[in-house]
Every structure is written in structure tokens, then in C-alpha cells.
Structure 1
Amino acid sequence: MIGVGSMGGAILAGLRAPGVQIETPIAITTRSAESAAAFDGADDVVARSSETDADANREAVRGAGLVILAVKPWMILDVAREISDALEPGAIVVSVAAGVPTAPIEAALPAGVAVVRAMPNTPSLIGRGVTGIAPGATADAAAVDTVRRLFETVGTALVVREDQIDAVAAVSGSGPAYLFLFAEEMTAAARRLGFDDAQAEVLAQGTIAGSAELMARDDDDPAELRRRVTSPKGTTEQAILVLQAAGWADLFDRALAANIRRSEELAGE
């Protein structure tokens, strides 16, 4: 794994969680020596720093059957070119960068290397991630299946077309931030009702976390779960009517469209 920032770090933590069975050690590279040193003594990770070893990325990918590129989007092609001649024949290269199509990555790598895009989210950290997987032109069914099985160790994986991957990023890749924003605003609203910080967190954040877990365990869809809590002419109904009158459907459509538009801009950059 090249890069272990917020997303790469979440994937790595998920892969190292108890009960996850993959081949180890995982070779990783970080930009800072301090970050690499955090893995000193780990049996399941071999960490190198590009700050102290200019050849760290190339050394990390030698012998690897699967390589995850978890660097910033504007760094992807430079890293792909850097590791190109160090990759094993038939290796699978997975990019988790938003907005970077597989075609230019494929062009930077040798023939025979399969390129797959993956769009995970940060709940991978606790084994509850959702990852969209899109094969490039060089990836056959076996390569896609390998990537799918890897990401299923940290949650759920969904295979989609590459022209859908930006939408996956908008819905599930960025989705945790939307939920955290909701929790942030609901907690602030509880404070404005007179609760102290600790009380507001219990009331708002505890309710959101519990409701999410209920939704995960229940077979009914969110609309039915909402109806169960919303008695006709009751108090919940009055709050729901106010929220729906604010045009949530249009708001979500515009928010996701802005997210997808930014992915397209990144592709152009």
C-alpha cells in the first residue's frame, strides 16, 4: 500500500483487525519517517518512508501481487510511473483516488498489469465499509474478484461500471461526512434547547448511532423504519413535515451533483 493517510489508513486498520485473514506482512510506504516508525515492531506490516528512502515505493511493490495506491489524486500518475518497472508481471494495481480514470494509470504501467478503481469509505476502519469497485480495460474477472474479496474483509463491496464510480464516491465515499454533519448540527440544536455538552452528545449522537445500528440489523427499508416512529398527527410528524418542507430531496441531489462535478474536475486537472 502506497500512502496511508485518512483513507489508506482506514483500509489498513481494517485489514489488520482481528479476524481478518489476508496474506501478511503488508508492505506500506508513508511520506514521513515518523509515520513509518509507528509500525516498528509490527509483525504484519513492513513500513518504509519516502522521506528517508527515495526508493521506498519501488521496494514496497516488489513481489506484491496486489498494490493499493492511496495517495492524493494529483500524485497518482507520478507514483504509477515511479513503480512501473518494479511491479511483478500480472500484478493488480488498485487506485482509491477520486477523479482519476483508469486509462492514464494503465498507460503509465507495463502491459499485463491490471488496473482497478476502488472507492471505499472510512467505516472500513471498523469492518463496516462500503466499497465501489470498477475495473479498467486491463482488468479481467479474476482481477476484479481478487479486489472485491480484499475489500469484503473490511465491509461490503459492490462492483460497478467505471462511469458510475464518481457517483459511488458521492454517495458512500463521502457519505460518512454527511452523517457526521447531521450529528454535528443535531448536537448543536440540542445545546440550543438548554442541554449541556455531555447531555447533548448523549441525546443526539447516541440516538444517531443507535438508529444506524437498528437500520443495519432490520430488514425493512429506512422509509418503513421512519414510519414506525412517526405516529399520525403526533410530535414526530410535525418535525418531519418541517424537514421535508425544506426540500431535502433537491438538497441531496444538488449536494451529490456538486460532489460528482468536483470528481470530474479532478480528472481534468
Structure 2
Amino acid sequence: MLAQTTLGFLGAGAMAEALIRGVLAAGLVAPDRIWVTNRSNRERLESLARRFGVRTTPRKAEVVAAADLLVVACKPKDVPDLLAEVGRLTRPGQVLLSVAAGVPTRRFLDEVTPGVQVVRAMPNTSCLVRESATAICGAPGTGPEALALARELLGAVGRVVEVPEDLMDAVTGLSGSGPAYVYLMVEAMEQAGVQVGLDSRVARELAVQTLLGAARMLVETGADPAVLRQQVTSPGGTTMAGLQVLREMGFAEALARAVARAAERSRELGALVAAPQATGG
């Protein structure tokens, strides 16, 4: 399906590059079927054209006219101005896929031409290594073919699940912000390793590989994490002693609060760009 689709990226940052890199590496789309534009950074466009062979232009209208699938890959704060500029240049039958965090589908439906099918997505930064955890949802009126197209594109950079839109802020709190929680944990594990006598380089290598191995165990065995935890927790052993400290320090509660606050912040930020009058003209 994607092979016969012309992609148009409105935004040329890290997320756009990750998606471009992913679909090209997977052989899903030819480079000459990918158009890219951005607000003002012409050097960035030249770099993408040189490295990937994609088509670039400073004219957003040209991208909108060429594309079957438009990818809104700008910063959330730039969405109002983008829609004011090109919203009505869209045409019925086009698919608009937004990866702008927190921006609800209704914001796009209010500004694009009737008949455009809108899909909202929340990938995470692991798309840069094609291991994103991504959730998608369709706006009212968006059909299964549009969702399948978005799923195929985003599947080139990781795993994709579909959720109702009212859960997208929860997704942001869990997997959208989740990589940062993991990085903080690795930082803490490395520092703890140093405190018990390890060299910092060795401590980091061990911490990272431990995380990678545990994740692969979860994926490849399909086992419940509680079961895997119990399997490595011997009564009276070292793991039990360490887990007891984490429980006493409120490890699970801290994570729950972090996810909830990040989800709340996603709702707050989304509200700032939810209404058309927020464009300021």
C-alpha cells in the first residue's frame, strides 16, 4: 500500500528523519516519492536531499499538492501557524498523519478540507533506532485504509498499537516520555555501581546490557514481568534484598506518579493548541 503512496513531510527534524530513514531502509517507498519541507532551515533540507535522495522544497504548498499522505512533523507550538498556511490547501481523500505531541485530531479537522482523513500518532525517540513504541488513533470519519497506511509507515520504526484518542495522553505519559525514565534508571544504576566500587565505564556497560537482556526476555518469552521477576528472586537472596529497598523507597509509586504527571502535562499542552482561535490571527 505504501509503495504507491507519495509522502509529504511538513517538518524536517529528528522525527521526520527517523521516519524517512525507516521507510527507506525497509524498502517501503522510493526516495523520489518522499517530499520534505520545513519552516526556514534550508541547510537541513539540503542535507536530507543529499543523504537520502528525497525531494525537498521550501514551499509547503508544493508538498501538500504532491502528497497522498501528509506527515505533520513540526513542533506542537508550530501547528496553528502551519494549519493556517496550508490547511485549506489539502484535498478530500488525503491522509494527514500528525506526530505533533498532544495536538488533538479535532484541531486538524477544524482547519483542513472536509474529506481529509486524520490520524494522530505518539511515537517515541527510540524511532531513531527503529524501536519506537507508537500508538495511533483515527479522527471521526477516518477509515481503516488510512489507519493501515499510518500503521505501515510507523511500523518501519518500531511497534504500533491502536488506542482511542482519549487515551493518547496516557500513552504520552507512559511510552512517549518513557525512554527518559529508563535513561534516568540507567544513570542511577551506573552511579550505584560506581559507589560499590566499579569503574564507571564497566558500570554503564553492565547496566545497559542488563536492561537490554531483560527487555528481550520480556519480548521473546512473552511471560508476565511479575513471573520473570519471581524467577530471579530467591528467598533470602541478593535480588530479594535489593527489591525490598526499592519497595521501601516507593519505586512503583514514583513511576506511577511520573506517568500520571506526564499524561496530565500532555493534556495541558494539547489544550494550548486545541482551539483555532489560538493561532492569533
**Match of residue 152, structure 2, among 143, 149, 154:** 149
In 2, Cα distance between the equivalents of 1:205 and 1:42?
Answer: 30
How far has the Cα of 1:202 moved from its partner? 1.6
Select the structure with the greater relative contact order (CA < 8 A; seq sep ≥ 6): 2
How far has the Cα of 1:23 moved from its partner? 4.8
In 2, Cα distance between the equivalents of 1:156 and 1:67?
Answer: 21
How far has the Cα of 1:231 moved from its partner? 1.1
TM-score by length of 2: 0.86
Partner of 2:29: 22
Q: Is the CA contact (8 Å cut-off) linking 2:19 and 2:153 kept in structure 1?
A: no
Structure 2 counterparts to residues 138-217 of structure 1, below 5 A: 138-217=141-220
**Match of residue 11, structure 1, among 19, 23, 28:** 19
**Match of residue 231, structure 1, among 222, 229, 234:** 234
In 2, Cα distance between the equivalents of 1:161 and 1:223?
Answer: 27
TM-score by length of 1: 0.90
Partner of 1:80: 83
In 1, Cα distance between the equivalents of 2:221 and 2:53?
Answer: 36
Q: Is the CA contact (8 Å cut-off) linking 1:77 and 1:108 kept in structure 2?
A: no
% identical equivalent positions? 36
**Match of residue 68, structure 2, among 65, 70, 84:** 65
Give the letter for the 1:35 counterpart: R
In 2, Cα distance between the equivalents of 1:67 and 1:153?
Answer: 16
In 1, Cα distance between the equivalents of 2:140 and 2:252?
Answer: 35
- Count matched residues: 262
Deviations 1:113-135 (A, max 9, x none): 11111111122223322211111
In 2, Cα distance between the equivalents of 1:235 and 1:177?
Answer: 27
Deviations 1:172-198 (A, max 9, x none): 111111111111111111122222222
**Match of residue 98, structure 1, among 98, 101, 109:** 101
In 1, Cα distance between the equivalents of 2:206 and 2:89?
Answer: 53
Give the letter for the 1:133 counterpart: I
Give the letter for the 2:29 counterpart: I
Partner of 1:47: 56
Tell me which protein shows more helix as a share of its residues.
2
In 2, Cα distance between the equivalents of 1:159 and 1:20?
Answer: 24
Change (3 A) 1:245 1:20: farther
Unaligned runs of 5+ in 1: none
Q: Is the CA contact (8 Å cut-off) linking 1:134 and 1:162 kept in structure 2?
A: yes
2:249 matches 1:246: yes
In 1, Cα distance between the equivalents of 2:270 and 2:126?
Answer: 25
How far has the Cα of 1:148 moved from its partner? 1.7
In 1, Cα distance between the equivalents of 2:70 and 2:214?
Answer: 36
Partner of 1:32: 41
Structure 2 counterparts to residues 125-140 of structure 1, below 5 A: 125-140=128-143
How far has the Cα of 1:43 moved from its partner? 5.4
1:75 is paired with a residue whose SS is helix
Change (3 A) 1:173 1:241: same
In 2, Cα distance between the equivalents of 1:63 and 1:113?
Answer: 15
